Structure 1
Amino acid sequence: MPLTDIAIRKAKAVEKDVWMSDRDGLRLLVKTTGSKYWRLKYSFRGKQKTFALGVYPKVTLKQV
């Protein structure tokens, strides 16, 4: 399911951190503190890696 700006704004993590995923490895980490972090999951030479893209709302869905 693709990420939408409305869903991202409403997202809250109550008891534990929550991951919201989009296609091609784009993910949003929603922390219990309310912070939201963009991450890109990819593989390099057979190993899973994660690349930090920024913090929402400073980095918007359009920018990612």
Structure 2
Amino acid sequence: MALTDTAVRQAKPERKDCVLQDTDGVSLYMMTRSGKSWHFRFSWAGKQPRISLGTYPEVSLREARERRGKCRALVAKSIEEH
């Protein structure tokens, strides 16, 4: 199920770090001590690397999805970003 802006804003980790899944590989990682960050996980050469898309609230849900789209396009074109 896709995340909503309200759910992201109100989400807080209970006692340990946790993850909220969005669609198409985007996740919101919530750390008990350091806040929230967006990540994109994808399959590449039999592995599942993870790319950081930025921290919340500096990067909104909408912007995280846009960045995911750009990353997916790069992966589809077999381009590595350094």
TM-score normalized with structure 1 length? 0.93
Higher helix share: 2
Q: Tell me how many residue pairs correspond in the alignment.
A: 64
Identical-pair percentage:
42
Indicate conservation of the 8 Å contact 1:12/1:34, yes or no: no
- Paired residue type of 1:21: Q
- Structure 1: state its 5+ residue gaps: none
TM-score normalized with structure 2 length? 0.74
1:54 is aligned to 54
- Structure 2: state its 5+ residue gaps: 65-82
Over the aligned positions, Cα root-mean-square deviation in angstroms equals: 1.0
